[in-house]
Amino acid sequence: MNTLQMLVVGLSLAGSYALLAVGFALIFATLRIFHIAHGTVFISAGYVFFVLHRVQGWALIPSGVIAVAAAALLGLAIDKAVYLPVLRRGGGMFGVFIASLGVALIFEAGFLMYTKGVVSVARTDMLDIMMVGPVAVRSIDLAVLSIVAVVYGLLYLWLHRTWVGIEVRGLTDNAPLAAVVGVNVDRTRNHIFLLASALAGLAGVFSAYDMGISPETGTRTLFVAVVAVILGGMSNLLLGTVVGSLALGVLTAYAGFFFPEWVTFGVFITMILLILVRPQGLFG
């Protein structure tokens, strides 16, 4: 595999990372929740899509739309049923983190019982491939990158041109002050979880359709996305997550080809070095 081919693979991976990373960053930057169960939302959408499209034979787009909607509702339900009760009882952010980890482990165990650890691939046919010189480009890669570009453009407009987006930015900059000046924190919190979870669901649909998913895919992919967030920094959510995801996508593509057993090591050593050298990230 030549260098350009691995770059194409890396860009394809970066698309899913970017969707997952920006949702995680949105929740963490505004609500200060290290949302481990974000990976659960991601993988749950993948399995809903798999069941509807591959098992039940539903059409591609309706299956994807329902899977994304299910992810959005699951993310909101986790906040309402788990995080908020923990906070109301004085559990604090560490309690929320432990609860989030528990949710992720429960769902992972359930998916393991359902699938017996077998990789679930939602597509039923081969992917279309076109040759651009020596490089093979899959139709799904072009589709993912195009959709991610559109999503990021809409996110930019939402954050800078809508009242809810401005409230979200206010929570990011100074949450206590935002509440004092009249931001409806509960309503904005609902919007954040719905949107971030829908983005994770879209990434889950792409992963299920492309390479397939297994019970541990959610947590593994989430931690790559977290490293992408750390790399980019929290000051500019969109630019930071894009650059971080591109870097991690290319890194995992190259490492996966040359040293597949070192992929996890490479990702986490990158995270440790970043925290030591530039904890605020590239755009912090």
Q: What is the pLDDT of residues 229-253, one digit of tens each?
A: 988 887 788 888 998 898 888 888 7
Considering only CA atoms, give the Rg of the chain: 19
Q: Is the pLDDT of residue 1 over 60?
A: no
The DSSP letter of residue 91 is -
What are the backbone angles phi and psi of residue 213, rounded to the nearest 5°? -135, 155
Per-residue model confidence (pLDDT) at position 99 = 96
Q: Note the residue count of the chain.
A: 284
Query: 132: left (phi > 0), else alpha (psi -120 to 50), else beta?
Result: beta
- pLDDT of residue 147 exceeding 70, the answer is yes
Q: Are 12 and 138 in contact (CB under 8 A)?
A: yes
pLDDT given for residue 174 in this prediction: 67
The confidence band for 180, taking pLDDT boundaries of 50, 70 and 90, is: low
Q: Are 171 and 31 in contact (CB under 8 A)?
A: yes
Percent above pLDDT 70 for the chain: 92
pLDDT (average), residues 156-176: 83
Count, in order, helices (H) and strands (E) of the chain: 11, 2
pLDDT at 140: 86
Is the whole-model pTM more than 0.85?
A: yes
